[in-house]
Structure 1
Amino acid sequence: MSAEAIELRRIRSKLSALDGAQWFRASDERGEFVEAKTRNGELNEIARFHPGAQPEEADFIASAPEMVTFLLRLVDRAISKACQASGKEQPRPTGQSGRNKRRPGDFTTEAAIKCGEPAFKVFLEERYGLERPLTTDRATERLRSILQIQSRKQLNSDSAAADRWQDLRAEFNVWKGAGL
């Protein structure tokens, strides 16, 4: 694996460790700071700025997770296009239109199979913070959390959940195919 691929993997891992927290600029009597709003709605101060910090510097720090996510999507698209140009067909990365058409009713089974695959478990660990040991049960639990579902059966009955599954599956295929 190239040094660039290793670095991308490290960046993706750090981003996934934030677990979807949103960062905002805030201020109080002591000055400006960045706070993270967790998935549970908890606000945590994560960085405080020196009084001489420029507004652009504070904005840059506060928007870092969004910018990294955007840039990683660009990288995924570039990798996919490069693979297509070289004759190796790659699935579309997360968030792109043109999802593969699949008959309804097979996403539940497909997700169950993926949760048993070692490569998918490593993907969930590196991109979404799946904790070791990498068991099928833990992968299933993490998948439900990522897709915001109570049961994998919802993948067949909830179109938004099915869309999220297809995006995650495409992201996994790009990750796996590119060696990232």
Structure 2
Amino acid sequence: MTSEAAELRSIRTKFQALGGAQWLLSSDAGGMFVEVKTGGGELNEVARFHPGAMPEEIDFFASAPAMVGFLLHLVDRAIASARKDRQPQGQGRAKDFAAEAAMKCDDAAFKVYLEARHGLERPLTADRVAHKLRALLGVSSRKELNNNAIAAERWRSLRADFDGWRRAGR
């Protein structure tokens, strides 16, 4: 793996660790700050800005997760397009990523992986795993993995990370 691929994987892992939480720019008597809205609706302050911070700096920081997500989606599209262009025509039957993902949701090792690497909370049920997987992949249904090249690429990347995690003996 090239250093650029490793760096991209690291960025993707850090982004996925945020779990899709919403970042909100807020203020109070003490000044401007960013808070994160958790899945349970709780607001947690994560950063407070110095009074001398420029509005552009504040906006850049507060918008960082959305910008990283946007850029990762662009990279995914570019990778998917490049791979599609390289594939020989008439290559057999297409993979059923939705079925593959459904099977992984029942896999005990995959559940532990999602708990360890992506913050899946217990109990580690198939429903919780499916919900977490859809959130990580940015889809509303696993079926999208079969007809959305970007989502399919995200699935392949997550699956590769899981395989590496399992090979490392975690």
Question: TM-score, structure 1 length as denominator?
Answer: 0.63
Code of the aligned partner of 2:118: G
Contact in 1 for aligned 2:76/2:153 (Cα 8 Å): no
CA distance in 1, matches of 2:57, 2:15: 20
Contact in 2 for aligned 1:147/1:164 (Cα 8 Å): no
Code of the aligned partner of 2:131: R
CA distance in 1, matches of 2:81, 2:159: 15
Code of the aligned partner of 2:18: L
- Aligned residue number for residue 171 of structure 1: 154
Q: Structure 1: where are the runs of 5+ without partners?
A: 90-99, 132-136, 149-159
Q: Structure 2: where are the runs of 5+ without partners?
A: 161-170
The answer to whether 1:112 aligns with 2:115 is no
Structure 1 SS opposite 2:141: helix
Shift of 1:83: 1.4
Contact in 1 for aligned 2:31/2:49 (Cα 8 Å): yes
Residues 98-177 of structure 1: pairs in structure 2 closer than 5 A: 110-115=100-105, 121=110, 125=114, 129=118, 138=124, 140=126, 141-147=128-134, 161-162=141-142, 168-173=151-156
CA distance in 1, matches of 2:88, 2:47: 43
1:118-168 per-position Cα deviation (integer Å, ceiling 9, x unaligned): 9x949x749x7066xxxxx948332233437xxxxxxxxxxx535566565
CA distance in 2, matches of 1:88, 1:7: 29
Structure 1 vs Structure 2 CA RMSD: 3.8
Q: Rate the CA distance shift 1:170–1:76 in 2: closer, same or farther, 3 A.
A: closer
Shift of 1:111: 3.8
Structure 2 SS opposite 1:27: strand
Question: TM-score, structure 2 length as denominator?
Answer: 0.66
Shift of 1:115: 3.3
The percentage of counterpart residues that share the same residue type is 44
Shift of 1:88: 6.2
Structure 2 SS opposite 1:71: helix
